[in-house]
Structure 1
């Protein structure tokens, strides 16, 4: 659950920065948010969550 919350915050900040500095129209940002909402509730949503958790575990395991 922690990964999902931090991913949502990270993506929200990314969309905000696109809206603010790349002049992304607000209606396009709303469509992106709606797409993400419906994608998460679809049958592929759990696979996306598993992939994000695997990516986070991989990044956490890197020794920099």
Structure 2
């Protein structure tokens, strides 16, 4: 069974959870930055998309 979720939705959910729990740290900064890049679709988004795709491809699938 394959389940896919958009990176924007995933980072949005993670960001909402972090804000609700008042978590502060490096992880929050990274997730917020990635969420911002995906949301704004800046010039750096293509590079981030490639990195995220490479990371997703590195995860072993059944």
**TM-score, normalized by the shorter chain, greater than 0.5:** yes
TM-score (norm. length: structure 1): 0.54
Compute the RMSD of aligned alpha carbons. Answer: 2.9
Q: Which has the higher helix share?
A: 1
Structure whose CA Rg is larger: 1
- The structure, 1 or 2, with the larger RCO (C-alpha pairs under 8 Å, 6+ apart) is 1
**Where do 5+ consecutive residues of structure 1 fail to align?**
25-31
- How many residues are treated as equivalent by the alignment? 50
TM-score (norm. length: structure 2): 0.56
Residue in structure 2 matched with residue 41 of structure 1 by the alignment: 42
Per the TM alignment, residue 48 of structure 1 is displaced from its structure 2 partner at its CA by: 0.9
